[in-house]
A and B are shown apart, each in its own frame.
Chain A
């Protein structure tokens, strides 16, 4: 089995800290849901809940008055509403990438972070879905989003990317939710078995769907998991590609460019990882999970951010180059205006946060520094929000006719709506942390030495002790520095 041992010279190492065993994993993760919530949790929860209140009031007023209360104007018909929508959908992508794509690529280090990221996906998509629902300002015709004929018998335009959005994001939400719930089954069973109260036992019992951990259960479970991973993988690409079509199918300079689909996907994964990182660093510290979520995991996440950040940088560069190369004065103007016009501040915020900042992660030292990665992850989140804002606002605010040029300034209601979605997101997230196992217990156990059928705790090399095929250590390969 020696060849499955990590090779430290190549930067490989075990995925869980020394001395971590089944019991430690179960205890560490389950006790968060069993003990009384710490005071910090309550403080955060109440803040988040207040923001939900702010959101509810803002939306109520929005429905009463109409979207005139936002900063949207002519020619900026879209403003923060769609910016927030795209941003939140993007945040969700990391979850699917980690749970599905990394699963398919056998990246077993994902087990430490996948549950967390998947939950984030679902909550982020919920926040995102609010915006298409409200951005038309007429909640009583929200059903226009669906492929249903209206009272005049007119169907929505099937050629409209906005309709495809509903299909794409709706499918994404459904599959992500199923994936998350299926993954949770064995862990809910663990919580059920540890429950002391009757109600708790019943609730987790229902959620665990009668899981007994039998061989047959595991077999079905793993097959279902693989199938859902396979279904989710194309969704990682399709959702944000369809979102990018909202812009790219138009003939608006700055929006209409062929690289948009993969560029949006890369950006989505980028921002999603940043958000996972921000939340994970907090949770890891608060709930003392350093032995499960190790520096190795964080470092790998930083590498993914470096890769995706560079891909986004490539897309910015290609857009700029092609705008010049196209020879079209409108294309050129939009990009020069982005970099030097009234929104230059937003553009350069975007460039510094998204392209320059992640380059810090070339350094191994900075990549392994918690304060640095925390700050960078937040900056990336800001940068990715600005990316969407820059795309939307700069392309719209100076249209073909200079006499109709304008400028978008957010109102207090724009800000409150955006903050309000944070409230929704964090409320859901804090509830999740409190009531569901935030790390995939069963999956982390799968990468422990004990999970090996030939695991020998006493180190004796008997008949079974040195059998090969042992995956006693799941390896984490690591690229060069």
Chain B
């Protein structure tokens, strides 16, 4: 504890105003972010018209990458209320700003929801949930993507090279076609069984439900917290704490099914019970890394005074480190169980991301392990690093960047032939979603105090030590 604090009686409250100076560059940063977003949107709109299929995938990638982060921040705020945490009060507002950006996602989702036909071929099966089977012709057109699957999918274990060779290379062409059609029909039948869940009406209903919940909870928690800045009422904390348990459960369910709907269903025949947990782990580790970076930036700017100390960075570093291991654990377990059991219908997911198409995806798959996990793991292991900021920032930055790469890796192998082919639309969409989201976040930052000055546990957070 610093001498200054001791002499001042330990209270910073009421004497310092943690606000963005309206004349500073930061105060107008939201306009810059919004401008970048709009610029990206122009490019994306061009793509929407001219290269709709590609746009759909690029946009989904950008949307999902930013959404998982924003939901990570929602989780952070929820868990602080759920546990009644004291240490984190001084950084909680920063997370709340990023959480508050969730309100723009219903708007950002519009281009996505208009492009579902390009993303999810099962969308065209209307009325199938009533059990009437669609005409065979329609089946065929709607399920063309399955042929693509069948080409890319059959895993070729080195021990049995004969099987795929016979299927695609050797044997007569007629035989190969016959086989393909048989497989196709089988896949169509499996898919048909899923249409009770994977259908247009239910998909949109669910999407509306997710957004309704996310907007409601983020607006409510943000309001309770910012209101308290002025009123200093304990009730707001009590209310937030009461809301947290049920909200956490709903958070878990909405995140799980959103991940299933928007990314797992890109490959409608593939399934993994772990998928919701995987999306959660990815979002949360990236969130902690980004929160660390933002807190570092704000501390450097001097706007935070002494409110964020080495102790807080130590804790943020520990949480980033811990959730990085959790992410690695979940990701590895999912991969490992699929790889070990070696069942064709499950392998497709990793097959797309490993040996096919010249191995570009394989490089990214390996990078997810070495760059997203091993390097930050080694960097963040040390206590000194977590308390001293340069290396901490590097470790956190790697994780944030790799989060975006990972979401690219999740979405893009499903596009067209699945080849690794970056497109300018990817960047345009990322700028659109990221820019507009940040505009909301930064706008809120200029309008409210940067730390929750009315929180009853604020002083405890200011003086907290990693004992």
**When chains A and B are docked, how far (Å) is the Cα of A258 from the Cα of B237?**
38
Nearest residue, chain A, Cβ from B459: A3
B283 CB, nearest partner CB in chain A, Å: 16
> A54-83 interface mask toward B, CB cutoff 8 Å, 1 = contact, 0 = none?
000000000000000000000000000000
List B contacts of A3 (CB < 8 A). Answer: 10, 457, 459-460, 463
B369 located at the interface, meaning its Cβ lies under 8 Å from any Cβ of chain A in the complex? no
Whether the Cβ atoms of B274 and A258 lie closer than 8 Å is: yes
Whether the Cβ atoms of A10 and B337 lie closer than 8 Å is: no
B271 located at the interface, meaning its Cβ lies under 8 Å from any Cβ of chain A in the complex? yes
Per a CB cutoff under 8 Å, which of A248, A315, A481 touches B337?
Answer: A248
List B contacts of A248 (CB < 8 A). Answer: 337, 341
Whether the Cβ atoms of B459 and A261 lie closer than 8 Å is: no
Per a CB cutoff under 8 Å, which of A106, A262, A475, A480 touches B245?
Answer: A480
Whether the Cβ atoms of A322 and B271 lie closer than 8 Å is: yes
B273 located at the interface, meaning its Cβ lies under 8 Å from any Cβ of chain A in the complex? yes
**When chains A and B are docked, how far (Å) is the Cα of A468 from the Cα of B2?**
11
Contact A322-B272, Cβ < 8 Å, known A251-B341, A262-B333, A481-B242: yes
Whether the Cβ atoms of B238 and A480 lie closer than 8 Å is: yes
30 CB < 8 A contacts A-B: A3-B459, A7-B234, A7-B456, A10-B237, A10-B238, A251-B341, A256-B341, A257-B273, A258-B272, A258-B338, A259-B274, A259-B277, A261-B329, A261-B333, A314-B256, A319-B273, A322-B272, A327-B269, A328-B190, A328-B345, A468-B1, A468-B5, A468-B6, A468-B463, A469-B463, A479-B244, A480-B81, A480-B82, A480-B238, A480-B242
B381 CB, nearest partner CB in chain A, Å: 10
Give the 4 A-B CB pairs with smallest separation, nearest first: A477-B84, A3-B459, A259-B273, A480-B241
List A contacts of B272 (CB < 8 A). Answer: 258-259, 322
Q: Which size class do A's interface residues fall under?
A: 35 or more
B197 located at the interface, meaning its Cβ lies under 8 Å from any Cβ of chain A in the complex? yes
B261 CB, nearest partner CB in chain A, Å: 11
Whether the Cβ atoms of B194 and A241 lie closer than 8 Å is: no
Q: Other than the known A314-B252, A468-B463, what 20 A-B pairs have Cβ atoms closer than 8 Å? A: A3-B460, A10-B84, A104-B318, A234-B325, A241-B333, A251-B342, A258-B333, A259-B273, A259-B274, A260-B273, A262-B277, A262-B330, A319-B273, A326-B271, A328-B190, A469-B1, A469-B463, A478-B84, A480-B82, A480-B241
B81 CB, nearest partner CB in chain A, Å: 7
**When chains A and B are docked, how far (Å) is the Cα of A245 from the Cα of B329?**
13
B243 located at the interface, meaning its Cβ lies under 8 Å from any Cβ of chain A in the complex? yes
> B58-93 interface mask toward A, CB cutoff 8 Å, 1 = contact, 0 = none?
000000000000000000000001111111000000
Whether the Cβ atoms of A249 and B337 lie closer than 8 Å is: yes
List A contacts of B460 (CB < 8 A). Answer: 3-4, 475
Q: Which of A313-336 contact B (CB under 8 A)?
A: 314-315, 318-319, 322, 325-328
Whether the Cβ atoms of A310 and B84 lie closer than 8 Å is: no
Whether the Cβ atoms of B463 and A327 lie closer than 8 Å is: no
A471 located at the interface, meaning its Cβ lies under 8 Å from any Cβ of chain B in the complex? yes
List A contacts of B1 (CB < 8 A). Answer: 468-469
A237 located at the interface, meaning its Cβ lies under 8 Å from any Cβ of chain B in the complex? yes
B334 located at the interface, meaning its Cβ lies under 8 Å from any Cβ of chain A in the complex? yes
Nearest residue, chain B, Cβ from A241: B333
Per a CB cutoff under 8 Å, which of A7, A10, A251, A480 touches B244?
Answer: A480
Whether the Cβ atoms of B463 and A260 lie closer than 8 Å is: no
B343 located at the interface, meaning its Cβ lies under 8 Å from any Cβ of chain A in the complex? yes
Whether the Cβ atoms of B194 and A325 lie closer than 8 Å is: yes
List A contacts of B276 (CB < 8 A). Answer: 318
**When chains A and B are docked, how far (Å) is the Cα of A62 from the Cα of B345?**
42
**When chains A and B are docked, how far (Å) is the Cα of A314 from the Cα of B5?**
46
List B contacts of A11 (CB < 8 A). Answer: 84, 241
Nearest residue, chain A, Cβ from B242: A480
Contact A318-B256, Cβ < 8 Å, known A257-B273, A327-B194, A468-B6: yes
**When chains A and B are docked, how far (Å) is the Cα of A477 from the Cα of B340?**
43
Contact A251-B269, Cβ < 8 Å, known A258-B334, A468-B5: no
Whether the Cβ atoms of B81 and A241 lie closer than 8 Å is: no
Contact A479-B273, Cβ < 8 Å, known A258-B333, A468-B6: no
